[in-house]
Amino acid sequence: MDAASMREEERKAEEAGYSRLLMMENAGRAVADAVLEVYDGAFEPRVLAVCGTGNNGGDCVAAARHLSPVARVDAILLGDEAKTEEARYQWSVARKAGGLTVHRAADAASVRRLGRLFSSADVILDGVLGTGIGGRVRDPAATAIRLTNDSAALVVALDVPSGLDPDTGRDSGVVVRAGITVTFHAPKPGLAARRDACGKVLVRGIGLPRSWT
């Protein structure tokens, strides 16, 4: 399903009474479950959630919150504040719930100062950029992607690896190389063309009907 079709599915779902916030919560839960299929919580893995300011970042911090009871979790917001109401709500809930440490990094230098979190992580959740990407990847996202790729951690991309065009599989030279991609609702066409960036692709529902009649 291409990005435009997915946005239309979400619009129709919202009109039918499906909450965007609930979809985000379901996405976060699905990613957390995928991580726990690989890392048993008894081992308390170190998890780093790298989150952009859009809804992909909201999905990512929701996943981090779900993992926080069984993992040591840090979450980085790549900006001063989330851009959407749903994402802002998820950050607010995460802060109030506790169990994870929140960092802000609005520029490349700030991201580099957090480099130890990338190098020491067992799992990195990639929620930097979602399906709405367009054009060249800029900082602080570009620096976060490079540090993610330099890490030995298992990288779990949310919906698509950051920097990857979901429809074509193309990138502008800066793209996350994930071990697992948890894509939501339906496969995106660009994923099949880029196994090198996507790794193992898991399709997980977020509460939407499979089709509309």
- Domains of the chain in start order, with CATH, are 3-10+19-204 (3.40.50.10260)
pTM listed for this prediction: 0.93
* Sheet (strand 123-127) strand order: 100-104, 72-77, 46-51, 123-127, 154-158, 180-184, 200-204
What is the CB neighbour count within 10 angstroms for residue 42?
A: 7
How would you write the pLDDT of the chain (213 residues) with one tens digit per residue? 666 777 677 677 677 667 889 999 999 999 999 999 999 878 899 999 999 999 999 999 999 999 999 999 999 999 999 999 999 999 999 999 989 999 999 999 999 999 999 999 999 999 999 887 777 899 999 999 999 999 999 999 999 999 999 999 999 899 999 999 999 988 899 999 899 999 999 999 888 776 654
